[in-house]
Amino acid sequence: MADRFRAGKRLWNAEDDALLRRRYPHESTQSLATKLRRTLSATYARAKKLGVEKSAQYLASTAACRLRRGDNVGKKYRFAKGHVPANKGLRRPGWSPGRMKETQFRKGQAGWNWRPIGSQRLVDGYLYTKVSDRRRVPWTRNWKPTHVLLWEEELGPIPPGHALAFLNGDRADIGLWNLECITRRELMARNTVHNLPEPLARTIQLLGALKRQLRKKGRHGNEEKQD
């Protein structure tokens, strides 16, 4: 049987296909794959492409290893009733080899990066405050922007379709004197660069893209997820 190759891959030839058509319906695919010096998946794929299927006689035989009503396929491999596992008594709750047990988390113990309610963190230039300690929720459920919390505490909820803006542009300068509540439309118009001269607008856009890439690299390299 001569092998033919293309880009390092052995191709199927007419002789291979003839053998597959003749023997695939009546033989184990694994034994046929060994005969053809192919992988099992490659043999299945080629048979599907050629439209060759297993015969009804083969599928009804024990060689097909299919579950059939009334058969006890695998019965001799099952554990008998009353069988004692070989590892019975060797493992128990809290068991661990070496000094592993000393470093395992205790029930109710928080991770090393856990922070208590009231803690603060800086994300993309905005200061966030931890307001709850719920598990398995997005971090934004437990952490809220500090300037938003301040506004809502003093002046109430922010109306729908509105947002807070920093009057002097400094996100770190958190205080009611530096906050104003404006519509999202106003915020977009204030932040847009389309009303600026084209060279300046292009420069601002490029600078923004550069900052986003730097923040992205910084998060992947240094920032750890916190509860």
Q: What is the DSSP string of 152-191?
A: HHHH-PPPTTEEEEETTS-TT--SGGGEEEEEHHHHHHHH
**Distance between CA atoms of 124 and 226, rounded to whole angstroms?**
15
Quick one: pLDDT at residue 47? 94
- What pLDDT does 73 receive? 67
Q: Which of 63, 62, 85, 84 is nearest to 72 (CA)?
A: 62
**Domain locations along the chain:** 5-66, 120-191, 194-222
Per-residue model confidence as pLDDT tens digits over 9-63? 678 889 999 999 999 999 999 999 999 889 999 999 999 999 999 998 888 887 8
Nearest to 149 by CA among 169, 168, 126: 126
* Per-residue pLDDT tens over the stretch 65-88: 776 666 666 777 888 889 998 878
Q: Which residues of 182-209 are buried (b: 16+ CB within 10 A; e: fewer)?
A: eeeeeeeeeeeeeeeeeeeeeeeeeeee
Please tell me the predicted confidence (pLDDT) of residue 78: 85
* Separation between Cα atoms, residue 172 and residue 218, nearest integer Å: 20
Q: Where residue 94 falls among pLDDT bands split at 50, 70, 90?
A: low
Using an 8 Å Cβ cutoff, are 165 and 179 in contact?
yes
Of 166, 123, 168, 162, the C-alpha closest to 145 is 123
**Residue 8: is its pLDDT beyond 60?**
no
- pLDDT of 96 > 70? The answer is no
For residues 96 and 104, the answer to whether their CB atoms sit within 8 Å is yes
Return the pLDDT at 147. Answer: 95
Segment 157-216, tens digit of pLDDT: 999 999 999 988 888 899 999 999 999 988 887 777 777 788 887 888 788 778 878 877
Lowest mean pLDDT among 8-17, 113-122, 147-156: 8-17
Q: What is the pTM of this model?
A: 0.43
* Mean pLDDT to the nearest integer, 107-119: 81
User: Residue 144 pairs with which residues in a beta bridge?
Assistant: 129
Residues 6+ apart with CB under 8 A from 144: 128, 129, 131
Sign for the CA dihedral angle at 125, 126, 130, 134 comes to: negative
